[in-house]
Structure 1
Amino acid sequence: MNLKFFISIMTIICGIAIWPQELPSDNNAKPLPAPKWAIKYVPRLDHHKATIQIQQATTPALKDEQGTENEMTPQKQSQPYSDEDIYWLARIVSAEAKGESEIGQIAVANVVLNRVKSEKFPDTIKKVIFAKGQFSPVNNKSIFKEPTTKATESARKALQGKKVINEDVYYFFEARTATSKWSKTRKVAAVIGNHTFTY
């Protein structure tokens, strides 16, 4: 056999063998079974996927300060009052209204907070309380006594927004012990327990 002819025949045969064949299109063709070494990992992967889906479904969408949903930036939650605020407000409420009802104690706290908001008075609770000649517990040092649990809770409620008197009520006095004639000339806003609250 001619050598060149033999090489040509072999080249044609090899070319047919390695030429890419088009796979039959059969929509009903079944996929090849997975190898045994992969089967044992399938449940583990499915469980991991399910865990991620559950976490995504149960994690609430956060919102930014403009109310837009944001999954990355948590919404800022500022504390409405400081530890110093509750420290001093609880003490003035306890010193001024220890024996009063919760409403009476909250009313005293409201007076202090009304002053803080007003331009006529200092702008912090501590400064309002220690302003010269404003509260007798500062003069007699009872402001430094440990407040009662009830007074602390009343002060906390007032700081959280509970109001029992109007925002323009800046004064109160106890009629039985008050010595200031000026206090008694003020317009009365409310009488709660032993205290008279005035504008």
Structure 2
Amino acid sequence: MLKLTMKVSRICVLAMLVISLLTVVPFSASAAVKDSREVENTRVILDGSPIELGSPLHMVNGRMFMPAGLVAKALSASVTWDADAQEAIFITKSDDEVILGDGVPTVYFNDQRYVLDAVPYLIDGRLYVPVRYVAEFLHADIHWNDEEQTLMITSVPLETVSDDNTLADISARHGLSQAQVVKRNGFSSKESIKNGMKLAVIIPSVLENKAKPFTESEYQLLAKLVQVESGYESYEGQLAVANVILNRVEHPSFPSTIKDVIYSGKQFPPAHNGLLDRSKPNASVLKATKDALNGKNNVEGALYFFNPRYSKGSFWDSLSVVATIGNHRFAK
């Protein structure tokens, strides 16, 4: 049985929320969809009034998910869907920009990247996301009433600074330090906060978990390699090739940077014959590369890829194949 509580005064608490209307397939999407189950006979109460979602709540590994485009709108946020990038873009009432992508375990929050501990997935045209995250991003609190099987979502107003409602007052009332409130709202010091300003007081828990950074040059180099090796393959095949490189970066038997992995050894001849330099990644390759860098991995553990029509011999036969996608086998 799920029992979710939270401090109305602090970081909005655990549960799991969604986005909707969007199209996203998660990293480990098949596993997430397979493990998800509908939570029957539940109600959703938003700011005291019941709402119809049109889709059931889901439970995945003890986490609650739900489709919530309607919730976003009701909480004064806008939601748009970038079909090319396969990303949902939220602009919240506190003017935060939140971007959740195609099954990617990384969220962009005001241009910074953070790691999610549960991944969005698509079912019946609805993007399911942990309630906890969307509620925190949209400046709301959540409470699960187990006895009544009811999920209650309550919007938390922004605080307006005034002589009678100072930064110190606001911070104390919400159980936060002044430094936390200053940082949450993007200021460098408390002296920057003036009367009349509106402050967010819900601090998304994911902000404590920054994603591993990558540079534009690393992104472009990896995309060029993916284009040369699998530009003609499907998105899934391109994603897998990008992840072989990234899996090697994390493996002690290989160099620890994208550049060194690509240019070391002889597996990638294009890196040495000029073809890589002339490569121009297409849109699908750019998306697959970005998603891989953001943690979406469809070939966990794979350190090699090869076309069995051309790569033959005892070495290739000795490998354990993780997946076959298009013309390539991915192995470890």
TM-score for both structures, normalised by structure 2: 0.38
Instruction: Look up the match of 2:230.
Output: 97
- Are the counterparts in 2 of residues 90 and 151 from structure 1 also a CA contact under 8 Å? yes
Please say if residues 189 and 197 of structure 1, whose CA atoms lie closer than 8 Å, have aligned partners that are also in contact: yes
Contact 1:80 1:160 survives alignment (8 Å):
no
Seen in structure 2, the aligned counterparts of structure 1 residues 157 and 176 have a Cα distance that, compared at 3 Å, is: same
| Inter-partner Cα distance in structure 1 for 2:273 and 2:315 | 21
User: What residue identity is the alignment partner of 1:170?
Assistant: L
Aligned residue number for residue 11 of structure 1: none
Shift of 1:140: 3.3
- Runs in 1 of length 4+ with deviation above 3 angstroms? 73-79
Answer yes or no: is 1:134 the counterpart of 2:267. Answer: yes
Deviations 1:138-178, CA, capped at 9 Å, x for gaps: 23322112222221111001001111011x21001012232
Look up the match of 1:71. 181
Name the structure 1 match of 2:307: 174
Match status 1:151 vs 2:261: no
Whole-Å separation in 1 of the counterparts to 2:240 and 2:280: 20
Which has the higher mean CA deviation after the structures are superposed, 177-186 or 83-92?
177-186
Aligned residues: percent identity?
A: 33
State whether residues 263 and 272 of structure 2, in contact with CA within 8 Å, keep that contact through their aligned partners in structure 1. no
CA distance in 2 between counterparts of 1:124 and 1:81 reads 10
1: CA distance, partners of 2:282 / 2:315: 31
Matched letter for residue 71 of structure 1? V
The one of 242, 250, 262 aligned to 1:117: 250
| 1:80 Cα deviation after fit | 2.8
Q: Is the 8 A contact 2:304 2:330 kept in 1?
A: yes
Q: Name the Cα RMSD after superposition.
A: 2.9
Pair 1:148–1:178, CA change in 2 (3 A): same
- Which is richer in helix? 1
Tell me which residue corresponds to 1:41: none
Give the secondary-structure state (helix, strand or coil) at the position aligned to 2:306: strand
Report deviation, 1:52.
5.1
Give the match for residue 194 of structure 1. 327
- Structure with the larger strand share: 2
What is the CA-CA distance between 1:79 and the residue it aligns to? 6.8
Distance (Å, rounded) in 2 between the aligned partners of 1:193 and 1:171 = 15
For 1:195, the aligned partner's letter is H
Whole-angstrom distance in 1 between the partners of 2:294 and 2:221: 15
CA distance in 1, matches of 2:267, 2:223: 17
Residue ranges of structure 2 left out of the alignment (5+ in a row): 1-159, 187-206
Bigger mean CA deviation after superposition, 131-140 or 82-91: 131-140
- The 1-side partners of 2:287 and 2:234 are apart by 12
State how far apart, in whole Å, the 2-side matches of 1:97 and 1:136 are. Answer: 14
Compared with structure 1, are the counterparts of its residues 136 and 180 closer, same or farther at alpha carbon in structure 2 (3 Å cutoff)? farther
Instruction: Give the distance between the partners of 1:124 and 1:142, measured in 2 at CA.
Output: 20
Q: Which residue of 2 aligns with 1:162?
A: 296
